[in-house]
A and B are shown apart, each in its own frame.
Chain A
Amino acid sequence: MMDWAYLFEISLTGIASGGLYALAALAFVMVYKATRVVNIAIGEMLMAGGYLFFTFAAMWALPLWLAIPAAVLACGLLGAVIERTMIRPLLGEPPISVFMVTVGLSSVLIGLVEMIWTADQRRLPEFMPTNPIMVGDAFLAPKVFWGAVIAAVFIAAVLLVFRYWRGGVALRATASDQAAAYSVGINVPRVFSLAWVASAMLAAISGIIVGSIGGISSSMGVFGLSVLVVVIVGGLDSVLGALVGGILIGLVEALAGAYLGGEYKLLATFVVLVVILMARPYGLFGTHEIERL
């Protein structure tokens, strides 16, 4: 007998956590859309945001309305530094090189976090309402729900920005041809910096939310692997894809975790990845690059 109520409850949690994936995926897509860089350190940047918030809110006991923006801005600064020191020098190099730089970056970030804050898991101060959320008979953890709500707000904001701001077109121009973008007057370095700063800030928000739900630790970056799958499923340069992909992967993981067991979550995600890579390598909404001989 199929327990529909249980399925519904699990799916609800899945969709909500999918919203979180979507937000982090958005941070990834932002960088890819502007600079064609696959940032495999996205999970670690998320972690940095969570730790910065921890420092401001717990260690320095700043009030929340100060700590959250401070953490987000500090992470944005980190993004700018990363872009300037390790991404920009590799302009024009094959994309594999930049990819490997981000691999190195993830290592550096994990090491730094362990050095400064040790590898122990920490809890973040509570700032979300704690009343359990009930949808009919289904229970939804409040943190997950509110996290998803915050994520949805930011996703909507980013979608609007991309739609109505002419900068969105500039972003795509710099990604596809830097020299051409330069020659029509787009300030390419500034666009690059902006993209990385924005991405880092989105990652920070993600990190704060995810950290609030499950605590922060130096292995938090593993979240980034699921985010990677989300963007591949959705399409590396598609904002809509990040949304749809996020919800999809959130569902898959929740269902796998509930019906197969916790250790199958990541496995299920990677199986989805392999299937998508074989069937539709450019994702559901990504743009297909055609190679000319």
Chain B
Amino acid sequence: METTLAHGANSAAQPLLQVDSVTLAFGGVRALSGVGFGVQPGSITAVIGPNGAGKTSLFNTISGFYRPTSGSIRFRGQDITRIPAPQRAKMGLGRSFQNIALFRGMTVLDNIKLGRHAHLKTNVFDALFYMGRARREEAELRRDIEERIIDFLEIDHIRHAPVSALSYGLQKRVEMARALAMQPEILMLDEPVAGMNREETEDMARFILDVRAEWGVTVLMVEHDMGMVMDLSDHVVVLNFGQVISQGVPAVVQADPEVNRAYLGSGNVDELRAKLRAAARIPTSAGAAA
């Protein structure tokens, strides 16, 4: 049983994304401590862990919203730790959000088109005039999105709908569509199936696999649905209290006692009671019963 910690030295090939000893502290709170792992190109990697483990903070750091207190992030071998978020998008880091971050004042189509923003070239003068470069670029964009994304995610029936009118499941799909429009090399999905039923989850799982197969996109996802994680992932990273406590193939991680303790507890009631008492500083009494 191999459980490697801290530095993810897990494969020979150059990882597409390499997170190295990243520490993120907000004032006195350490959201991440010495987190390190690698994401292989073409793989599906899942980051799991209890609530508050730092998964979204990790994503935000990779996206560029937070600057790590120490450590580095490398993408395609290049150090991107100091590069601002909008540029990372252009380099190929696409992402969806945990609490849907669609732009409510726009239609589905406009939201998706926004994903392509970093790769478009129209400037203000082109835009004001429109006939010419802007028109061509927009037509090209529209064709590309329709044929590759809208078709693929089966959302053609809602393309002109305002996003605020859509159901949760459809909104999540539009988020995914927008992330795909970013022409990402690595797609970061923050809880892609949160709040979905069985059928919707299976649909999304299918999309994720198709995205990898047809588009060649590497997937990095945060997820709680263990079934989905274990079925889909090539590599799993487990976070708890901002630290990597285990990583490896799903089977290995699943069997890791550390992981079990973090998620499920040790199963020893006396140990638990002692811990709680110590935390609350209650004098030991003959208290029985639960």
Contact = CB atoms under 8 A, between A and B. Distances in A.
Direct contact of A and B (CB under 8 A): yes
B131 to A, nearest CB: 35
Interface in B56-88: 56, 60, 65
Interface residues of A, number: 1
A293 B26 CA distance: 14
Interface in A249-293: 293
Interface residues of B, number: 4
Nearest to A290: B26
A293 B56 CA distance: 9
B56 to A, nearest CB: 8
Contacts of A293: 56, 60, 65, 97
Contacts of B65: 293
A19 B56 CA distance: 48
A59 B229 CA distance: 80
Contacts of B97: 293
Interface string B76-116: 00000000000000000000010000000000000000000
A237 B65 CA distance: 28
Nearest to B190: A293
A120 to B, nearest CB: 47
Nearest to B57: A293
B229 to A, nearest CB: 23
A92 to B, nearest CB: 15
Interface in B177-220: none
A293 B85 CA distance: 13
Contacts of B60: 293
A293 B65 CA distance: 9
A116 B56 CA distance: 59
Interface string A196-212: 00000000000000000
Contacts of B56: 293
Nearest to B65: A293
Nearest to B26: A290
A282 to B, nearest CB: 16
A206 B65 CA distance: 45
B99 to A, nearest CB: 9
B60 to A, nearest CB: 5
Interface string B45-59: 000000000001000
B188 to A, nearest CB: 13
A228 B60 CA distance: 36
A289 to B, nearest CB: 14
A206 to B, nearest CB: 39
A293 B96 CA distance: 12
A293 B66 CA distance: 10
B31 to A, nearest CB: 12
A293 B58 CA distance: 12
Nearest to B101: A293
Interface string A215-231: 00000000000000000
4 contacts: A293-B56, A293-B60, A293-B65, A293-B97
Interface of A: 293
For the complex of A and B, 4 pairs with smallest distance between CB atoms:
A293-B60, A293-B65, A293-B56, A293-B97
